[in-house]
Amino acid sequence: MVLYHIDICNKCGEEYTSTYINWCRSCQINYLKNNFTNWTSGNEKIDDFIRKKQLKFDLYYTIIEWIPYNQFIDIKKIEKNVDNAVTIYSALWNNGSLHYDINKKELTRRPDINVVLKCLNNSQNVINIIDEFLIEV
């Protein structure tokens, strides 16, 4: 007789997506889905893009999310390009990125992460810029 040990998520009863760290993709997607109403970028296209990406992520460390500007502190200009179209800043992301805590078996935040912000100056046609960005990503 051969016995196989299968790790089952105690929240949903499904097999863990990653048994090495006891990570359940289904539970994490449900967590993100339940938070859809708690945030908005103010732009329906961007919100839809982020929500679709959140429902399709495969790795616990690749979650895309909207970050409100008020989450950034200690913002410093790094450079402005020649045609003044873009300004680059460094900042500290106060709440930090989502991180899967192996011990708690849930998403938590890693506070105070250094990030780079890209500001599009004199953006006459925001819709076209958003469309171009969404195609790039």
Please give the angle made by the CA atoms of 92, 95 and 96, to the nearest 5 degrees.
70
More confident residue, 25 or 71: 71
19 Cβ contact partners less than 8 Å away, ≥ 6 residues apart: 6, 7
Token readout for 35 is 């938070």
- Does the pLDDT at position 73 exceed 90? yes
- Does the pLDDT at position 77 exceed 60? yes
The pLDDT, as a whole number, for residue 39 is: 92
For the segment 15-40, what is each residue's pLDDT rounded down to a tens digit? 888 877 788 888 888 989 999 999 99
The pLDDT, as a whole number, for residue 136 is: 63
